Structure 1
Amino acid sequence: MGDQPTSQEFHLPLAQITQTPLDCSLRYLDFSGDYARLGLEYHGAAPFEDTTSCALAPPAREAAAVTAPWCVTMLAPAARLAQVQQLLTFFAGHGWAVSAVDTLAQRRERTVIRFQLDAELEFAAAKHTCLQLAEKLDVDLVLQPGSSQRVPALAGFDMDSTLIDAEVIDELAKITGIGEQVAAITEAAMRGELDFRQSFRKRMALLRGFSERRLAEIATQLPLKDGADKLLGGLRALGCKTAILSGGFTYFADYLRRERLPVDFIHANQLEFEHGALTGGVIEPIVDGMRKRELLQQMAEEQGLELERVIAVGDGANDIPMLNLGALGIAIHPKPKVRLEAPQSIERFGLDAALYLFGLSDQQIENLI
């Protein structure tokens, strides 16, 4: 019995949270008005004395409305009090006043806390300082305008290494015995070291003669990225249109839409066949980074949407143009260059974690799915 932690909710001013040297597991933090509700699990002495306390509370069904100009969302695999203390100290040091705090997820393996900030800040510089702190704290810190904390009307997705946990062109190359050669070209292109169009032509030429029958077999074996079905299913339930905008192939994107994921539109590269095998040629136009951006903007215009209702999700250098188009540009498990240049990034969780950036709590997400 002595090994069992004490579970307790403390009621205290937000500033007082940073004033204890004791660290422990953090379950939730909610703040509005004068006092915060802080749920902790600890061994030994209580981290705070002379404060009102009670048993841990169940999670709120819905997050509060966002009224501040900026939000920072902390996504932690197993949140600690010390992490929140350092984050609050960071905000105070930059003069970013915290006006409200909501806990969107309070699972053992996932704590998501959103901080609303009344602050004047320069986004690019503030984002980079948040990324640096995130590395130190071993969490994701996502900075976004408060106005973007809503469900989008249109979402554009990269496919390879974003919706599926593979680079299809690399998988084809492995089967033909040139996997390392093609994978090296792909990796250089995704890091932004090679022009995508040039690298695409070079890789396709190496795949000449690959049979269409084998392509069909590979399509059924492509693994989905963690959380892909939950995110796209949630967006469908919320009335958001989704599109695959891929430097990969329509052959596989069509299979995903037909068999695996709720997708509304597809724009990708077409494979050229002759006598049941790939010719190694390329059918123009190639869907590169700028083409993805143009297509996403075109779809928004066709649907009469302002770009504030549009988001994009990707992982590679050729996704950067579309990631910087709309209200949110979310890089999932991104390459280093993409992490620095994308407006938002999530590294420690799957695709479904993007739902928190729309202002949804776990309870709301569960009701959707």
Structure 2
Amino acid sequence: MPSHLTPQEPVLLTVIGRDHPGIASRLTGLLADAGAALLDIEQVVVQDRLTLCFLVRLPEKGDVLKELLFAAHELGVSLEFQSVPVPGGKPLPPPNRHVVTVVGRLLGARELHAVSECLAQHDANIERIQRLTEAELGSVEFHISLPLGREPEELKRALLELSMASNTFDVALQRESLYRRSKRLVVMDMDSTLIRIEVIDELARVHGVGEQVSRITERAMQGEMDYDESLRQRVALLKGLDARVLRDLASTLPLTEGAETLIPVLKRLGYRTAIISGGFSVAAEALKNRLGIDYAHSNMLEEAEGKLTGRTLGPIVNAKRKAELLESIAETEGILLDQVIAVGDGANDLLMLERAGLGIAFRAKRKLRQAADTSISSGGLDTILYLLGLTGRELQEVRMHLPGAREIQRSRG
């Protein structure tokens, strides 16, 4: 053992070079034969370049470092070593760990500098950076630790302001916990979330009352009008509309970008899915059947003699009702609220988002974005998959097992 190293102090061994099979096997074999104690290990490969670290406590006798250096030379890699002082005093409390997920069309040095600078300004220490996407650099995870006792709210607001200012990427901050990668239920609003339109606005346009309904819709989404009253006023304006218009529209609803990826992948992974919407049941049920969604709850329009009467049937699905339905579905499925994701875009989604373990404001107004756990504005609904911690490689594997995937692959081959 070199004279500047002591048996009491752990030694950090860092191996760098071109990755190939057998490196870890050869080096760990030498450590085992020498009786060294392995305390920690970490490896990362970036573009075929390996960085492998061992934290070890070396035996007093023998010259295992010399053997390791010789083996590294034969393997075509470099090996550096340095002692790591053992911290004294009482054991440190567990770190205040969080995960920051950055998702954009294409992330570059400018975007990642902006995020890392924001983290530094809030004393967040970056412990690990992981690329999630495969082909292009579209999603990156920062695993960070905040100072003990520091609440994440201030950092969350700063990251939100950063993403809103850039308009080219989304940033999500989540506490690192058992439930981050073990969500089991995803609940979504329908209008302007799962689909690109507001159904009631389209019906109103056909019926010639588009401008009146749009004004009421906007006030309701901004939280400036009681939702129940706004719905009654808007539905009343639809009185006399042929019900076939509603059914024709429901059969051709335009899905939001990413929905056709998100739902099948969630189903393949065993998630339960639900629509909880202040929209209309004919549209929600059509989407439920089309996408294979497990639950659909929304408002039912009354019909008489093939025409809309301008009234709804049953309780109105407002903000309070949405939150209650979310809880009811979770209870039915035996799923903890911490394992629920809720996605919405309007003020009437706020309670639902607050009740879920992860509330996501999707292309939402500023007020909801500030209140939600995180927001998505530049990406599609499939961005949610990266917030679950899934990597591009994992997503590709799941897609290969979706219905019809093999037929598509064969046709391309």
Equivalent residues in 2 for 1:251-262 (5 A)? 251-258=282-289, 260-262=290-292
**Change beyond 3 A, Cα 1:179–1:227:** same
Aligned to 1:59: none
Q: CA deviation at 1:136?
A: 4.0
Aligned to 2:267: 236
Give the conservation status (yes or no) of the 8 Å contact 2:134–2:393.
Answer: no
- Would you say 1:332 and 2:362 are equivalent positions? yes
TM-score calculated relative to the size of structure 2:
0.71
Equivalent residues in 2 for 1:288-303 (5 A)? 288-303=318-333
The structure, 1 or 2, with the larger RCO (C-alpha pairs under 8 Å, 6+ apart) is 1
Aligned to 1:356: 386
Q: CA deviation at 1:367?
A: 1.6
SS of alignment partner, residue 280 of structure 1: strand
Give the conservation status (yes or no) of the 8 Å contact 1:75–1:111.
Answer: yes
Task: Work out the CA distance in 1 between the residues paired with 2:259 and 2:96.
Answer: 30
Q: CA deviation at 1:35?
A: 9.3
- Would you say 1:98 and 2:126 are equivalent positions? yes
Query: Which consecutive residues of structure 1, in runs of 5 or more, have no partner in the other structure?
Result: 1-10, 13-31, 40-52, 54-66
Q: For the pair shown, which has the larger CA radius of gyration, 1 or 2? A: 2
Q: 1:308 aligns with which of 327, 330, 338?
A: 338
**Change beyond 3 A, Cα 1:207–1:173:** same
Query: Which consecutive residues of structure 2, in runs of 5 or more, have no partner in the other structure?
Result: 1-15, 18-39, 48-76, 78-94, 400-413
Task: Work out the CA distance in 1 between the residues paired with 2:96 and 2:44.
Answer: 17
**2:388 corresponds to which letter in structure 1?**
F
**1:346 corresponds to which letter in structure 2?**
I
TM-score calculated relative to the size of structure 1:
0.79
Task: Work out the CA distance in 1 between the residues paired with 2:114 and 2:258.
Answer: 29
Aligned to 2:106: 78
**2:100 corresponds to which letter in structure 1?**
V
Taking only the aligned residue pairs, the percentage that are identical comes to 40
- CA offsets, 1:262-310, max 9 Å, x none? 2001111111011111110122310011111111011112222221111
Task: Work out the CA distance in 1 between the residues paired with 2:119 and 2:42.
Answer: 18
Task: Work out the CA distance in 1 between the residues paired with 2:230 and 2:210.
Answer: 15
Give the conservation status (yes or no) of the 8 Å contact 1:68–1:116.
Answer: no
Aligned to 1:176: 207
Aligned to 2:224: 193
**2:355 corresponds to which letter in structure 1?**
L
Moved more, 200-209 or 110-119: 110-119
Q: Aligned Cα RMSD in Å? A: 2.3
**Change beyond 3 A, Cα 1:151–1:261:** farther
Equivalent residues in 2 for 1:83-162 (5 A)? 83-108=111-136, 111-119=138-146, 120=148, 121-137=150-166, 138-147=168-177, 148-162=179-193
Give the conservation status (yes or no) of the 8 Å contact 1:151–1:238.
Answer: no
Task: Work out the CA distance in 1 between the residues paired with 2:191 and 2:113.
Answer: 38
Q: CA deviation at 1:354?
A: 0.3
Give the conservation status (yes or no) of the 8 Å contact 1:152–1:310.
Answer: yes
- CA offsets, 1:6-37, max 9 Å, x none? xxxxx89xxxxxxxxxxxxxxxxxxx989987
Q: Which runs of 4+ in 1 moved over 3 A?
A: 32-39, 135-138
Task: Work out the CA distance in 2 between the residues paired with 1:318 and 1:290.
Answer: 8
Moved more, 139-148 or 203-212: 139-148
**2:222 corresponds to which letter in structure 1?**
R
Question: May I ask how many residue pairs the two structures share in their alignment?
Answer: 312
**Change beyond 3 A, Cα 1:329–1:206:** same
Give the conservation status (yes or no) of the 8 Å contact 1:192–1:337.
Answer: no
